[in-house]
């Protein structure tokens, strides 16, 4: 059991509680308003629904709980074609906490879990586990073995077990443009390198999370020492050069990095293959502006991408590459100084 900034399920107003199994849930929980979903990206559609659910829970003197799944069900049912997830679990939980939820149950999704009937799932998880007084679902919700359960099934089970069912109003899920908020939309924008567009749907900049590892030191030799990221969470967008923010989240055993924790640093980001030197591996490298001499090896960092500049190119020589990087850094500095740097 872990706490994430937000609110606590047995004490609204403190931190959001994360449970990893039914056994973690306190017997004193409830009554609760519960919803379930993958919540990939926790985009504005998700936020609108969850914030309204939280407001309803407060008005009723209840707690607001979300259930989500790890790994993604599609990755279990079709492991050769796992979905590309917008956010890793740590960032998903932080974004869920920001909506004011009191608790999140992260269910380990397995083939055995998927074999439960709709009624078995509802009884075990929603009724006995989360003490649901109300269950909030989307019109297209499916659950239970073979996805046999739907909204009508949930209403029937609500009548049987004594909880109400609220179906999400489509108005909460539609943007001003008329397009439905969706994780698919975010992926399309990220694939196109449209980071401002993705931020408009997400309600924040897109984030990668990972560990800083040792690279080949090429950047240091040409005057651009970069932090090389082993990405553990977040969808890799269109390859190219970006303006972004680099933040140390956890210094871990690196005592030199502890003063930097939580301080966003402007960064020029290279994401892709370094064709100029014949690179064949995908690299995510961030050059922190005005932060010469920092040591952030082995730390966990967040990389918030603000705007795409150009594709990865073969400049033909290190001299030409260095000149291009000078221009990239100048562009990054100007862009972020104009205020296009919110996270």
| Pairing state between β 132-137 and 164-167 | parallel
Confidence band, pLDDT 50/70/90 cuts, at residue 219? low
Task: Name the DSSP class of 174.
Answer: B
pLDDT averaged over every residue in the chain: 92
Q: Are the CB atoms for 206 and 305 separated by under 8 Å?
A: yes
Retrieve residue 199's tokens. 């931020």
The percent of residues above 90 in pLDDT, for the chain, comes to 81
pLDDT at 5: 53
pLDDT at 6: 46
Q: Are the CB atoms for 206 and 304 separated by under 8 Å?
A: yes
Is pLDDT at 201 greater than 60 in this prediction? yes
Alpha-helix residue ranges (DSSP H) falling in 164-231: 183-191, 195-202, 218-221
Is pLDDT at 324 greater than 60 in this prediction? yes
What's the mean pLDDT in 317-323? 92
What's the mean pLDDT in 127-150? 96
pLDDT at 218: 67
Domain 203-337 has CATH 2.40.30.30: yes
Q: From the CB of residue 84, how many other CB atoms can be counted at a distance below 10 Å? A: 12
Distance in angstroms (rounded) separating the CA atoms of residues 183 and 295: 35
Confidence band, pLDDT 50/70/90 cuts, at residue 101? very high
Q: Which has more confidence, 292 or 50?
A: 50
- Collapsing DSSP to helix, strand or coil, 166 comes out as strand
Provide the residue ranges of all domains of the chain, joining segments of one domain with +: 2-173, 203-337
Q: Which residues lie closer than 8 Å to 219 by C-beta, 6 or more apart?
A: 225, 226, 285, 287
Is pLDDT at 265 greater than 50 in this prediction? yes
| Pairing state between β 16-19 and 103-108 | parallel
- Residue 337 vs residues 46, 225, 276, 316: alpha-carbon distances, Å: 31, 21, 29, 31
Asked if the domains at 2-173 and 203-337 fall in one CATH topology, the answer is no
pLDDT at 277: 77
Helix 183-191 × helix 195-202 angle, to 10°: 160
Confidence band, pLDDT 50/70/90 cuts, at residue 13? very low
CATH of segment(s) 2-173: 3.40.50.620
What dihedral do alpha carbons 7, 11, 17, 21 form, nearest 10°?
-150
Distance in angstroms (rounded) separating the CA atoms of residues 310 and 1: 43
pLDDT at 9: 40
């Amino acid at each position: 059991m872990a706490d994430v900034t937000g609110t606590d399920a047995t004490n609204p107003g403190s931190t959001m509680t994360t449970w990893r199994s039914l056994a973690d849930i306190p017997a004193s929980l409830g009554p609760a308003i519960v919803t379930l979903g993958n919540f990939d990206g926790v985009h504005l559609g998700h936020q609108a629904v969850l914030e309204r659910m939280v407001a309803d829970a407060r008005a009723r003197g209840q707690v607001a709980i979300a259930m989500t799944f790890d790994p993604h069900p599609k990755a279990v049912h079709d492991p050769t074609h796992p979905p590309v997830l917008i956010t890793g679990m740590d960032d998903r939980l932080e974004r869920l906490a920001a909506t004011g939820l009191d608790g999140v149950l992260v269910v380990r999704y397995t083939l055995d879990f998927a074999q439960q009937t709709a009624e078995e799932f509802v009884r075990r998880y929603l009724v006995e586990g989360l003490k649901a007084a109300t269950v909030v679902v989307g019109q297209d919700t499916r659950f239970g073995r073979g996805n046999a359960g739907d909204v009508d099934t949930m209403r029937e089970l609500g009548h049987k077990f004594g909880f109400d069912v609220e179906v999400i109003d489509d108005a909460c899920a539609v943007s001003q443009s008329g397009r439905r908020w969706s994780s698919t939309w975010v992926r399309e924008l990220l694939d196109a390198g449209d980071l401002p567009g993705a931020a408009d749907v997400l309600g924040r900049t897109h984030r990668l999370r990972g560990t800083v590892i040792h690279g080949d030191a090429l950047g240091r030799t040409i005057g651009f020492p970069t932090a090389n990221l082993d990405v553990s969470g977040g969808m890799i967008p269109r390859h190219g050069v970006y303006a972004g923010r680099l933040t140390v989240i956890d210094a871990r055993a690196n005592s030199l990095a502890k003063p930097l924790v939580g301080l966003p640093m402007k960064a020029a980001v290279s994401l892709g293959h370094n064709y100029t030197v014949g690179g064949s591996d995908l690299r995510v490298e961030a050059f922190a502006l005005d932060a010469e001499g920092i040591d952030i090896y082995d730390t966990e960092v967040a990389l918030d991408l603000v705007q795409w500049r150009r594709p990865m190119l073969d400049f033909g020589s290190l001299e030409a590459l260095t000149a291009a990087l000078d221009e990239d850094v100048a562009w990054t500095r100007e862009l972020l100084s104009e205020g296009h740097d919110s996270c």
